[in-house]
């Protein structure tokens, strides 16, 4: 299964270590950025599922940072702040935060809030469970794939790649986004690696005849799964 990617935005080394260790130990993939500019670039390049934002970043106000994020993305954001007065909480929520937590961060509560927000906000949870094409059926709920009515076997990596595409049919997923979600941030630049796995997946799906291909290439950008003629919740 593709990994849930969480972007941590803080220039506090201690908070970086604390959050990264806790999230990785609970199965999440983590990216860390120390600046607003870096965070905005990571949002565009990697498409994280959730952002943990320390409002004391680059001496900018939390509201300014949130508005910058919201200008380009609707990704869920949990603010981690040392100042959680009622007015600060209201300002953060009005600027676009989905939740606000105080420091020091209670890790068990943080993880519970992360899970709750991902259940509620992540587009992956709102997608249909079965995608039906002319020859291919993808059952996300049962984690099965059929070609011409016959179930085919996919490796864990092949399934993770297909699932990542199938959760957002019709949306171009950038190379770095797919690589990060399926293999981890250390693979974000390995586009040749991704092309190899996409080729393997297409072969298994017998997805090599135009105009009926379902895995589509967008040169220089990434890949997308075509919108299905039929989709079942």
Question: E-strand spans in 140-181?
Answer: 144-147, 150-152, 173-174
Please give the average per-residue pLDDT across 136-144, as a whole number. 86
Residue-wise pLDDT for 52-109, tens only, equals: 998 765 455 566 778 888 887 888 999 988 766 788 788 888 888 899 988 888 899 9
pLDDT band at residue 125 under the 50/70/90 scheme: very low
Measured between alpha carbons, how far is 78 from 110 in angstroms, rounded to an integer?
A: 9
Q: Check pLDDT > 50 for residue 127.
A: no
pLDDT score for 43: 86
Alpha-carbon separation of residue 18 from 36, 98, 113, 125, 169 (angstroms): 20, 21, 16, 28, 35
Better-predicted residue by pLDDT, 89 or 159: 159
pLDDT in tens, 7-55: 999 988 999 999 999 998 988 889 999 888 888 888 888 888 899 998 7
Cα separation, 168 vs 170, whole angstroms: 6
Instruction: Tell me: pLDDT of 230 over 80.
Output: no
- What's the longest Cα–Cα distance across the chain? 60
Lowest pLDDT segment from 77-81, 120-124, 164-168:
120-124
pLDDT at 167: 85
Alpha carbon distance 172, 209 (integer Å): 20
Q: Is the pLDDT of residue 232 over 60?
A: no
Task: Look at residue 159 in the predicted model and tell me its pLDDT.
Answer: 92
CA distance 115 to 138: 25
CATH 1.10.10.10 is right for the domain spanning 130-225: yes
Tell me the domain boundaries of the chain.
5-121, 130-225
For residue 126, pLDDT beyond 70: no
Write the CATH number of the domain with boundaries 5-121. Answer: 3.40.50.2300
Reported as a single tens digit per residue, the pLDDT across 173-214 is 999 989 988 988 888 889 999 999 999 999 999 887 666 789
pTM metric for this prediction? 0.62
Closest CA to 50 of 104, 124, 159: 124
Please state the rounded mean pLDDT for residues 106-129: 76
What pLDDT is attached to residue 9? 92
């Amino acid at each position: 299964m593709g990994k849930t990617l969480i972007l941590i935005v803080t220039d506090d080394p201690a908070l970086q270590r604390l959050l990264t260790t806790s999230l990785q130990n609970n199965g999440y993939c983590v990216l860390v950025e120390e600046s607003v500019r870096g965070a905005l670039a990571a949002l565009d390049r990697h498409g994280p599922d959730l952002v943990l934002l320390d409002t004391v970043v680059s001496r900018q106000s939390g509201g300014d940072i949130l508005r910058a994020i919201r200008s380009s993305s609707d990704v869920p954001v949990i603010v981690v702040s040392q100042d959680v007065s009622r007015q600060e909480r209201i300002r953060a929520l009005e600027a676009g935060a989905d939740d606000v937590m105080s420091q020091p961060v209670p890790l068990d509560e943080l993880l519970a809030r992360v899970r709750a927000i991902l259940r509620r906000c992540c587009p992956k949870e709102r997608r249909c469970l079965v995608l039906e094409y002319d020859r291919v059926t993808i059952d996300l709920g049962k984690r099965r794939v059929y070609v011409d009515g016959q179930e085919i076997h996919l490796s864990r990596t092949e399934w993770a790649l297909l699932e990542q595409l199938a959760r957002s049919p019709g949306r171009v997923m950038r190379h770095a986004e797919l690589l990060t979600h399926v293999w981890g941030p250390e693979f974000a630049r390995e586009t040749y690696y991704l092309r190899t796995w996409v080729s393997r997946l297409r072969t298994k799906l017998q997805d090599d005849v135009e105009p009926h291909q379902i895995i589509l290439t967008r040169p220089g950008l990434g890949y997308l799964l075509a919108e299905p003629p039929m989709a079942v919740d």
